[in-house]
Chain A
């Protein structure tokens, strides 16, 4: 059974358990989540794609920011575990009529909900919510500002393990808008914990955070040099909505310098895979030939998201 008293993310204090970020998870806990996700993966192949594990529990998607993949795969994960599921669309909720976030939470608590899955444009929002809900409610971070997107990192790691059994032998590159990417941040932590020996981040200087090398990664500004012999290359989109000034000259130049074009496939390892957390901007950070080609595992990432989220939901709901 998973109990990790020093872990602030999956907390075991007075029945309160949350999944807020990756950085303090132990390697064994990450591997436990991956193993359990492996078992849940079979449920999607059953004629009845459902197990009764979370029957009687109520899970709420609380999304303050746009999302397709994350929102729907959380919903499917909860439904495949037989939980009751609510999607609160903040655009149409009373929050728009002036109700405070805490009042919205109090009202949802009064409906006897057991878990909030939160996406929010502000870093730290999930942690704030976790500190302000009653103790029997779990909070899962589905992406908060630039801070973390821990379930995306978990499903990426799960996808990588499908192709490469030993993390301790891998060369992995993350390419693009590292500065604004919560996925990149969570991935860097996950890879460090899994002892990936060669983690690279690639992008124009303006999109690499200052001091990123202190996170145990090697920064590159030259993409061809950076992706050389990599087993996995994770492409990120430009997060224009989080940019408050001009970080790149223009998208065409960005594509020439940092776009994953078919000729760059020859640079990565023979069995190398290309990943992308989505949404994909074709012709900006990746070409259609690569995104739809046989080295791409982008759609597998989406499918794996359901099993990985089933594992995280059920482990966070443990007694």
Chain B
């Protein structure tokens, strides 16, 4: 099943509005937006532009922080992590497309702390689906989905951003 461009855009606008309200409520004026490669980085770029924040969103590649190296190894085609500014004493907004098992988020938080000590980390996701394996929850969610085990959610992009629900053997978010 494919979301339409408008349906995906509605979810993006929903997380943008929620994030604005969250920042206002918590008195955060200069957050650092960090997206997880690849889908999360696209959404982070979109948020950075739409919210007229200065500079470029950071992009994390969690490949070197995964917990399954001894099972699957490392993919040589790894987009490098880009962290353009210091995160010390900053409020970090960590963005991903899908929250599934929680392992990607665990790896991302570990990597973030190798770049400094942020004041706080807030997790924003477009989709939160069933299948959690770690005690990790998102602070801001576009939509919660219940999917069968053989299904995955995939974000296509970067332009336009379109969500798709696919069979597991076709790839997509599986970690």
**B-binding residues in A (CB < 8 A):** 1-2, 32-33, 35-36, 38-43, 46-48, 50-54, 311, 314-315, 317-319
Docked Cα-Cα span, A311 to B63, in Å, equals: 13
Q: Which range holds the interface residue count of chain B? A: 20 to 34
Please indicate the chain A residues that have their CB under 8 angstroms from the CB of B80 in the complex.
38-39, 41-42
Please indicate the chain B residues that have their CB under 8 angstroms from the CB of A39 in the complex.
61, 63-64, 78-80
Number of residue pairs across A and B with beta carbons under 8 Å?
Answer: 62
A28 CB to closest chain B CB (Å) equals: 10
Partner of B74 from A41, A42, A315 at Cβ < 8 Å: A315
- 17 A-B contacts (beta carbon < 8 Å): A1-B73, A33-B76, A36-B76, A39-B61, A39-B79, A43-B64, A47-B115, A48-B114, A48-B115, A51-B64, A52-B110, A53-B65, A315-B73, A318-B73, A319-B70, A319-B72, A319-B73
B73 CB to closest chain A CB (Å) equals: 3
The 5 closest A-B CB pairs, nearest first, are A318-B73, A51-B64, A32-B76, A48-B114, A39-B78
Interface centre among A35, A40, A52, A311 (most CB of B within 10 A): A52
A116 CB to closest chain B CB (Å) equals: 19
Q: Is the CB of B71 within 8 A of A319?
A: yes
Docked Cα-Cα span, A147 to B79, in Å, equals: 35
- B77 located at the interface, meaning its Cβ lies under 8 Å from any Cβ of chain A in the complex: yes
- B81 located at the interface, meaning its Cβ lies under 8 Å from any Cβ of chain A in the complex: yes
Q: Is the interface of B mostly helix, strand, loop or mixed?
A: loop
List B58-117 residues whose CB lies under 8 Å from chain A. Answer: 61, 63-65, 69-81, 83, 110-111, 113-116
Beyond A36-B76, A319-B71, 12 additional contacts (C-beta under 8 Å) are A1-B73, A32-B76, A36-B78, A46-B83, A46-B114, A47-B116, A48-B114, A51-B111, A52-B64, A53-B64, A314-B69, A317-B69
Q: Is the CB of A46 within 8 A of B78?
A: no
Q: Is the CB of B74 within 8 A of A36?
A: yes
Docked Cα-Cα span, A317 to B116, in Å, equals: 29
Please indicate the chain A residues that have their CB under 8 angstroms from the CB of B71 in the complex.
319
Q: Is the CB of A318 within 8 A of B81?
A: no
Docked Cα-Cα span, A135 to B73, in Å, equals: 18
Docked Cα-Cα span, A54 to B73, in Å, equals: 10
Partner of A42 from B75, B81, B110 at Cβ < 8 Å: B81
Q: Is the CB of A53 within 8 A of B69?
A: yes
Docked Cα-Cα span, A319 to B70, in Å, equals: 6
Please indicate the chain B residues that have their CB under 8 angstroms from the CB of A314 in the complex.
69, 74
Q: Is the CB of A51 within 8 A of B72?
A: no
Docked Cα-Cα span, A43 to B63, in Å, equals: 12
